[in-house]
Amino acid sequence: MAKIYPFKAVRPTRDKVSLVASRSYQSYTADERDSRMVYNPYSFLHIVNPGYKYQKDTIGKNERYKLVRNRYLEFKEDEIFIQDQTPCYYVYKIVNRELETFCGIVAAASTEDYENDCIKKHEDTLKDRETTFKEYLKAVGFNAEPVLLTYPDNDEIANILHLVIKERAEYEFTTTYRDTHYLWKVENPEHIKKIQSSFATIKTLYIADGHHRSASSHLLSKDLESNNPKHKGTESYNFFMSYLIPESDLRIYEFNRLIKDLNNLTKEEFLIQLDEWFRIENRGIEVYKPSKPTHFSMYLDGEFYSLHLRKTIYQFSNALEELDAQILYRTVLAPILGIKDLRTCTRIEYSHGKNDTIHVKSKVDKGEFAVGFGLFPATVDQMKKIADQGLKMPPKSTYIEPKLRSGITIYEFDK
């Protein structure tokens, strides 16, 4: 059963939270990062990009980790960050510009649950990234970006959330992306007890986003356990910060595929090979977007095509084989275009489904890519079935919302 605990968050003061909060570091261009740091001394980017203070673009990994730790301590010393005195849960709600609402709980999840598959995974992780992020966490001593976990809708948890959000929020701010963020502290002992006991009845949680972060936290817990002769299992390093939302709040978008060349095939040869697996219809300049599973769009040489899988040819042997990203890999990317390893191949790039189909078209029209494929988004049920069967999706199979800001709640752990 899921062990989900309250914790003492380090977080910005109410007057500075909108200035501190940032998107994930990788989502900014270099110019965007520089602009924000020039004009906003409170941005969390100053912590995760510490070389900026010394105008150093390139610094060693270990030196960078130390500087991250130093900048973080400075934010605490300057009382930009405060720490709650008692363990709390944190109800976090986002209302985006499309007026979609996401409401969940920031809490500490168990690395033991991760190891025992009470927290299930649906994506493979890369060992190098796991190890790198583990070393980063070990050096800096905190985590500022929660793993996104999802759970079956639960009436008792929903009722508590409903009661909590009736009160004045600790934070309320709107970003330049026109998303409004709210956060409430849950310090009422009865509410804390009910939340913890409700999660204890849930057999399985699923990682929606943050596979490398959770894997790295698990590695770190094992590392620190081996160096602690008095290890009890209750130490803070045995947990990692998570944002838990009900399955009905999760939004899954597709990742479309862009391929740089046709693997030395002519357009006609390529279409003939596709015909083995798909019923193909040339849609001309009519923008086509797939409306159901096993249907794909393709943009090639200035024209859209619809591709409908020939189900009499393709065999569905497990939940993974029913996933459109896997179907495209098995029928097109690997056998026809020669893309065997999706994790290392430089001939493929991805465009998430919040970018419209015209984005894929423009990339091909500019000559940056030879062909683009549009997919139908996976469902929560597909994600769960794949995880339950112990299988892993191909890279970039899902683009999942909500996306949280960094630096709003921070989880510290003993080293």
Q: What is the pLDDT of residues 370-384, one digit of tens each?
A: 999 999 999 999 999
Q: How far apart are the C-alpha atoms of 168 and 50, rounded to whole Å?
A: 35
Look over the chain and give the mean of its residue pLDDT values, rounded to a whole number. 93
Are residues 220 and 132 in contact, defined by beta-carbon separation less than 8 angstroms? Answer: no
Chain position carrying tokens 């990994």:
61
Q: How confident is the model at residue 57 (pLDDT cuts 50, 70, 90)?
A: low
Closest by CA to 294, choosing from 310, 273, 283, is 310
Burial of 344 per CB tally in 10 Å (0-12, 13-18, 19+)? exposed
The string of pLDDT tens digits covering residues 240-297 is 999 999 999 999 999 999 999 999 999 999 999 999 999 999 999 999 999 999 999 9
Cα–Cα distance for residue pair 212/278, rounded to 1 Å: 35
Tens digits of residue pLDDT in 165-212? 999 999 999 998 899 999 999 999 999 999 999 999 999 999 999 999
What are the φ/ψ torsions at residue 301 (nearest 5 degrees)? 55, 45
- Angle, helices 155-164/189-200, rounded to nearest 10 degrees: 150
**Angle of helix 61-77 versus helix 127-140 axis, rounded to 10:** 40
Residues in Cβ contact with 214 at an 8 Å cutoff, skipping those fewer than 6 apart: 109, 114, 119, 121, 147, 207, 240
Beta carbons of 140 and 237 less than 8 angstroms apart: no
What pLDDT, in 10s, does the model give residues 127-143?
Answer: 888 899 999 999 999 99
Q: What is the CA radius of gyration of the chain?
A: 23
